[in-house]
Amino acid sequence: MKRKPLEPTRLPTIVDVARLAGVSKSTVSNVIRDAACVAPAMRARVTNAVAALNYRPNVLARQLVQQRTKIFGAVAGDLANPFHAEMAKQIEQHAAAKGYRVMFVNTHADEVDEASLEQLLEYRVAGILFLAHAGMSERARLLVSGKLPVVFVTCSADWGDVVSGDDHRGAEVATRHLISLGHRRIAYFADPIVEDAADRARRAGYRAVMEEADLQPNVYRWRRSPPGLLRNNREVSPESLLLGERRVTAIFSSNDLGAIEILDCADRLGIRIPEDLSVVGFDDILLARLARINLTTVVQPQHALAELAIDTLSARIAGSLPTTPVRRTVELHLVVRGSTAPRSPE
């Protein structure tokens, strides 16, 4: 009935410490968690034993008995996207500061993967952070909805708390900047890797300002494969848009990566930035600051977003939030760099 003896490399357990210190398990437990007050002499004996054995508590066992983990699940967008990578880093750091570890899972082709979500549930994560995902299946939603705390960071859904920048206002500021430089033919370029709700809000901000200024909104959408530019699902050639009499003189891109693609495209077509074309991005990834890129863009404060996200998730877990989802927004501002300039006289 006895199972075979454990391998010799076994790590010391709380009983080993208790035995060595000549006390009971509970006393050791009390010391390592410094819970109930323990007599100084006892505490010293335990501490010595811990050091002697190089004892390290097994948090898995602890979390099993406590019926809750200190692990967050995080569903990150493609980490090859610098915005997501920077965000992931900030999330990890702020979580660690609150005593949580993070298990990251990548999205697959920008779609949240159900198997990964199930894994997170099997690990009994304390909550899930969705970082800027582009989409999620209904089945994926049902998997987690209502089962554990969820916060959407830089993206949105009605079945969890939301932490994001004020996309509408950010887009307004960007568009006003271009108008104030004298531009009138200003296009909005939607990058499909931007999450839907965020894209809609940015587009709406753009539209509002354009209409307020009696200008015609022009919305285009990148298609990644095969590469192309779409307007109302109809193919548009970049040349027709960027060259010729009725070309646009300014573009507001829904993210920095898209803006940088526009720069590339302009370079190929011999269009000078910012003399011939002004470009504004969204995010302010590190990349945007490079001298060779030098992109005017709407800053998403990643540090603040990550901190707020972690705060929200911990508060939700602690039960100190209203039952209905909260929606927290941080202010966005524009940083003007070298990719925008006054419209040149024709």
Residues at the site binding its own copies, with contacts judged by CB under 8 A: 6, 11, 56-61, 63-64, 67, 69, 78-80, 82, 85-86, 88-89, 92-93, 96, 101-106, 116, 118-119, 121-124, 260, 263-264, 267-268, 286-287, 290-293
Query: Do residues 255 and 300 lie in contact, with contact meaning Cβ atoms separated by under 8 Å?
Result: no
Two structure tokens written together for 14: 């709380």
Min separation Cβ 226 and DNA, Å: 46
Min separation Cβ 310 and DNA, Å: 23
Give whichever of 61 and 336 is closer to DNA, judged by the CB atom: 61
Query: With CB cut-offs between 5 and 8 Å by kind, which of DNA, its own copies, none does residue 1 bind?
Result: DNA
Query: With CB cut-offs between 5 and 8 Å by kind, which of its own copies, DNA, none does residue 243 bind?
Result: none
Q: What is the dihedral of CA 319, 325, 330, 331, to 10 degrees?
A: -150
CA pseudo-torsion sign 124, 126, 132, 134:
positive
Min separation Cβ 8 and its own copies, Å: 13
State the CB neighbour count (10 A cutoff) for residue 237: 10
Min separation Cβ 123 and its own copies, Å: 6
- E strand intervals along the chain: 71-76, 101-106, 127-131, 150-153, 161-165, 186-190, 218-223, 228-231, 234-236, 250-253, 278-283, 296-299, 327-330, 333-335
Measured at the CA of 161, the angle between CA 159 and CA 166, to 5 degrees, comes to 115
Give whichever of 104 and 123 is closer to DNA, judged by the CB atom: 123
- Which residues bind to DNA, rule: CB under 7 A? 1-4, 6, 10-11, 13-15, 22-27, 29-30, 32-33, 35-39, 41-42, 57-58, 61-62, 64-67
When computed from its CA atoms, the radius of gyration of the chain, rounded to whole angstroms, is: 26
Query: With CB cut-offs between 5 and 8 Å by kind, which of its own copies, DNA, none does residue 111 bind?
Result: none
